[in-house]
Structure 1
Amino acid sequence: MFYLLPCFGISRFMEVIWNDFWVRRDSYILAIAQIVNEQSYLEARMILNPLYKEKVLHTLEFVLQDLLSFNQILFPSIKNGKAELSGMTIHQFGSLHERIILGKRLYRLLFKDRIKHQEILSWCIAHRHTGSRKDYWPHIFNDVNEGLPGPLQIRRLKNCRLIGSSPRLYSPKLEHAWPNVKHEPAEPGDWFDDCSVVHYLVESEESIDGNITGDYCETLQNLELAVLAKKAVFI
């Protein structure tokens, strides 16, 4: 019943992809096409939206996060009873091409190595996702603020270990960090107007390491230093 897809505002691009999948059952093509569709859909409605540019993309905080490589996507897993992190750092979020390439790399990271895929899947099944970093590193993070009130701030983290008897870093659950937001309906229209996007469907043989623990530890330390510096300036 794919002929009904246009009635739901589905892109012509995905209509062709779904019909192709029904015949050839190529899960890779379907997954990458969904990445292309999602990011292209967001491009016109969010990334190129003047209000979004002003309130998000062009803010100093967002630009610094990109320049300092503070944005990372993590896949926790358990190996030999020890928590491990795989993932990638996000660069140039405002670029449609870079977001699609990142999606392809993350897909390859998740599904190319069957052992790693099973380790990540096992972790997901065993842990309830709350949005708090406590989910994967409870020895460093807690969803309850253990810090003392007041202006005194000292470093608590070094090499992904708490210094001495320092309280764990506060990482609230998603429901406590952000309120529910009621969004307006998405604008109508089909993003697909350029057949050249099909080149993204070609599978890359690029080797993806995905070992991000060291980079993530460095990011946490730099974030802590940035917070301490900001508080020192504005106290």
Structure 2
Amino acid sequence: MFFIRNRKRSTHEIITQELKNKSKSTPSISSLTKDEGVLLEKIRWKTQELNVNNVTRTKAYLDFYLRYPDIHWAFLGHMVSRNGGWNMTDLKGEFLPRLMTKKDRLLFFQFLERGNWLIFQDVYPQFLLYEESLKWRKPFFNLFGKFHISTFMETIWNQFWRTNDTYLLTVALVINEQSYLERRVVQNPMNQKQVLNKFEFLLQDWLSFNHILFPYGNKQLAGQTLHQFELLHERILLGKRLYSSLFKNKDIHQKIVEWAKRHPHTGSRKDYWPDIFNSVNEGTPGFPYQLHLKSCQLRPGAKRIYSPTLENAWKNVSHSEAEEGDWFTDWRIVDYLKEDYENINGEIKDEYCKTLERLELTALAKKAITF
């Protein structure tokens, strides 16, 4: 045990020194060989092909993880992306159309979709370059700059190539993706005004957007709850807790993987609770709204809650190019790479059920939320 901890400490020191050096220097731009140029075009095409919508991205993450199970973030990304899809379709589901205007729901969808798109176009080329590195038996991480991937991740992937430290790589990717979103999405002035400030109450208090759910087994849910979404620090810590919830307990991890393999992502919450949610609207137009739930079960005679598929809820979005620029400026971000040994309780079912019931009661009251 002493040897393992000492080795990890040495790895941390190596990374820290490399990043200190990088934070003081200007990245060099190297020319490409013909083969490298062909490789980059192949990766750009493949990433664009799969970055169509939340469903295609989510499937791509799982497919990659099943091919390369050492890349833990691919499965973490898959499960978090599933939650992103559920949040998107909630905007067209049973409750939120009663509480939010059509314009506000569109704004919130665009916010979620942009973040989902940005993360994929940043992380998936990293995965494909790793895949090519395995095929050619030499690292291609020096090409990260051609995709505007942070120099932080070049250092981390080179270290992973030498040590196969899955924890290090996963947490580094959590840091990278949340830092990547910080300026482009969270601190974007338009999003600050039209989305985050406007929906802070919705996000933090009683909507389900702050629950990240990992279904498994017979209607079981693991996961975590996010508070203070607007804080980068909180999102990184959440990512570390989610990683622990997914991978620390091997039995639960395998059950979640098996669930994901058996249930292709559609965006509908019917994927994990078909006895409570349905992708077809069972409600009768013109009839008064009736409560569906009690203690996380349908009331006698109640219809299932409407939760549409992504395909039926939203059209595909054509995105503008990602904003350029490397987020990495301060080497002290490496402090997040230190492993946490706290015991993470991933039980979330009861909390989520209470949130659903609060949301339904608010929808029943039909008190439109104004800002």
Aligning the two structures, in what range does the TM-score lie when normalised by the shorter sequence?
Answer: over 0.9
Instruction: Spell out structure 1 runs of 4+ moving beyond 4 A.
Output: 231-234
CA distance in 1, matches of 2:278, 2:331: 48
Q: Give secondary structure in 2 for the equivalent of 1:58.
A: helix
Gaps of 5+ in 1: none
* Aligned residue pairs, count: 230
Say whether residues 1:75 and 2:214 are aligned partners: yes
Identical-residue share of aligned pairs (%): 53
Displacement of 1:67 in angstroms is 2.6
After TM superposition, the structure 1 = structure 2 runs for residues 37-76 of structure 1, keeping only pairs within 5 Å, are 37-59=176-198, 61-68=199-206, 70=208, 71-76=210-215
Answer yes or no: is the 8 Å Cα contact 1:45–1:187 preserved in 2. yes
Greater strand percent: which structure?
Answer: 1
Displacement of 1:195 in angstroms is 0.9
After TM superposition, the structure 1 = structure 2 runs for residues 158-169 of structure 1, keeping only pairs within 5 Å, are 158-169=294-305
After TM superposition, the structure 1 = structure 2 runs for residues 113-192 of structure 1, keeping only pairs within 5 Å, are 113-150=249-286, 152-192=288-328
Displacement of 1:155 in angstroms is 1.2
Displacement of 1:93 in angstroms is 0.6
Answer yes or no: is the 8 Å Cα contact 2:148–2:324 preserved in 1. yes
Say whether residues 1:29 and 2:165 are aligned partners: no
For 1:107, which of 237, 240, 243 is the aligned residue? 243
Gaps of 5+ in 2: 1-139
CA distance in 2, matches of 1:206, 1:148: 49
CA distance in 1, matches of 2:186, 2:287: 37
Greater helix percent: which structure?
Answer: 2
Q: Give secondary structure in 2 for the equivalent of 1:227.
A: helix
CA distance in 1, matches of 2:226, 2:283: 30
How big is the alpha-carbon RMSD for the aligned residues of Structure 1 and Structure 2?
A: 1.6
Match of 2:157 in 1: 18
Matched to 2:238, the amino acid is L
Answer yes or no: is the 8 Å Cα contact 1:69–1:91 preserved in 2. no
Q: Give secondary structure in 2 for the equivalent of 1:91.
A: coil
TM-score with structure 1 setting the length: 0.93
Answer yes or no: is the 8 Å Cα contact 1:57–1:63 preserved in 2. no
Match of 2:122 in 1: none
TM-score with structure 2 setting the length: 0.60
